[in-house]
Amino acid sequence: MASDFKKVADEFLKSPAGSKIKKNEFGKIMASSDGKKVKQMLESGDDNLMDAMRKGDTDSLKNTLSKVLATEEGARIADQIMKMMK
């Protein structure tokens, strides 16, 4: 599953919004304590998240993202990424 997240992250970094972020900066954020906790949150469940991504199930993706962003770690990671995109 970790390789699936790497693939998704790489695809995001190639998108117009993600292209504003330097890959090494994104890697530093995800290697931080908050980043590791967020990654663990996303990986701790079953493969439903990755299935939802493959199927384009936006409702499941929004639900999962909302849960992650509701945590202190998720909010800090999102804030750091948003600042990098400016």
pLDDT, tens digit (0-9, with 9 covering 90-100), for 21-30: 877 888 899 8
- Give a yes or no: residue 72 inside a domain: yes
Which carries the bigger pLDDT value, residue 16 or residue 74? Answer: 74
Residues ≥6 apart with Cβ < 8 Å to 41? 67, 68, 71, 73, 74
Helical ranges in 15-86 per DSSP H: 23-31, 33-44, 48-55, 58-69, 72-84
In a domain, 20, yes or no: no
42 assigned to some structural domain: yes
Structural domain span for residue 49: 1-9+34-86
Number of compact structural domains in the chain:
1
Look at residue 24 and tell me if it is in a domain. no
Q: What percent of the chain has pLDDT over 70?
A: 90
